[in-house]
Structure 1
Amino acid sequence: MTDIATEKKQLRQKYIQERSHLNPIQWQKKCDRISLNLLKHPLIQESQVILSYISHKQEPDLSLLYRHHPIIWGIPRCQGKDLIWHQWHWGKKLRRGAYSIFEPYKTSPKIDLETVQLILVPAVACDKKGYRLGYGGGFYDRLLAQKPWQNIPTMGIIFDFAYVEKLPTEKWDQPLNYICTEKEIIPISGSRL
């Protein structure tokens, strides 16, 4: 394992552990503040198709956003090393899939990728240059490196304690355009959009 990979692994453990120590009331308050910040943001208000995620391992939960912004949400389903995006609306059933993450059924309608206006990206931590620390599977870095995705704005979703000065990066890491915490939404200066 490289030094960067080891450092990322240690940071991942640190921030996941910090997240797991939030009591349920603190966690829900922070999640709701994140959703409220998103609901007020022009990118969210102007978008009709947004790719997002279902909270896992005490990630920020966006249920309040999904309930109050009834647009077409794209939720991923893992297929090998790729994410397949399916339409989802608040209240529609999901199944436990890869990594025990809730995901749409295979039979759910797929998202027309040309209609996607924003991607909300789950993260363990993000830094001031827009780099994110994920779980190490590389799903989002592979996705965001592909041509059709490079012109769609991206927003990392984290708790404020996981917004740090600088994360270790590797050549394949893809920076995000915005970071959303329970305190604010931060545009990343010099981002590609």
Structure 2
Amino acid sequence: MNIPIQQQRQQIRQQIRQSRQNLTALEQQKAEQNVTQQALQLIETRKARHIALYLSFDGEISTKKLIENLWQKKIDVYLPVLHPFSKGHLLFLKYETSTPMIKNKFGIIEPKLDVTKVFPTQKLDIIFTPLVAFDKQGNRLGMGGGFYDRTLQNWQQKHFIPVGLAHACQEVEQLPVEIWDIPLAQILIG
């Protein structure tokens, strides 16, 4: 009997999130260092100046060191914010040390919406995305809301490239994909 694709995806989410949460503080720290170095190399290679990131949540690789490094290099950092009237979409707001932060409806910390800080998605150089699981084909399984899939649609015709950040334990042999899933250009593994 075949397990429905949605059920398969939920099982993978549960297993991988558990694996991610079981990582030790040292494993998390090493992964952050590895991914930060890889990301900085990619940013330098692409001469990127406008970088979308996210604040880590639920065992995701920490982006703290990467953000601090980018600030030191005077590279602009943007964080996702739930779009206030385009349901299921993201906006990206400039993130600085002084940016006021709030918790969104999912309990995730994001910048307080300020239209003067919104940066057009198509002008970003790299969008680093969180993910729950991935496979060698670049398929990404997120938390299930589709926010990044909508944001990344037709990314090949846009200026930015989408890059996932992940722990090695998040890789699976092959993800069950849906038609709306958007594969990533690259995945950096910590």
User: Which band: TM-score by shorter chain?
Assistant: 0.7 to 0.9
1 CA distance for matches of 2:110 and 2:43? 27
Q: Does 1:158 align with 2:153?
A: no
Deviations 1:147-170 (A, max 9, x none): 796552111111011123311101
Residues 1:166 and 1:91: Cα distance change in structure 2 (over 3 Å): farther
1:186 aligns to what?
none
Aligned partner of residue 41 in structure 1, secondary structure: helix
Residues 1:114 and 1:7: Cα distance change in structure 2 (over 3 Å): closer
1:126 aligns to what?
134
1:170 to 163, 178, 181: 178
- Answer whether contact 1:120 1:157 (CA < 8 A) is retained: yes
Aligned partner of residue 16 in structure 2, secondary structure: helix
2 CA distance for matches of 1:127 and 1:45? 24
- Answer whether contact 1:32 1:62 (CA < 8 A) is retained: no
1:78 to 77, 82, 103: 82
- Answer whether contact 2:123 2:160 (CA < 8 A) is retained: no
2 CA distance for matches of 1:37 and 1:142? 26
2:96 to 89, 93, 104: 89
Deviations 1:102-130 (A, max 9, x none): 10111261113342111101101111111
For 1:23-62, list aligned pairs within 5 A: 23-42=24-43, 46-62=47-63
Q: Does 1:141 align with 2:140?
A: no
TM-align CA RMSD = 2.1
| Count, aligned residues | 181
Matched AA of 2:92 = W
Aligned partner of residue 180 in structure 1, secondary structure: strand
Residues 1:14 and 1:168: Cα distance change in structure 2 (over 3 Å): same
1 CA distance for matches of 2:88 and 2:120? 20
User: Structure 2 regions of 5+ residues with no counterpart?
Assistant: none
User: Structure 1 regions of 5+ residues with no counterpart?
Assistant: 183-193
Aligned partner of residue 119 in structure 2, secondary structure: coil
1 CA distance for matches of 2:60 and 2:157? 23
2 CA distance for matches of 1:35 and 1:147? 23
2 CA distance for matches of 1:51 and 1:12? 24
Aligned partner of residue 127 in structure 2, secondary structure: strand
Percent of pairs identical after alignment? Answer: 28
Give the CA deviation at 1:33. Answer: 1.7
Deviations 1:22-62 (A, max 9, x none): 12232122122211221122566611001111101111111
Matched AA of 2:25 = P
2:11 aligns to what?
10
Give the CA deviation at 1:74. Answer: 1.4
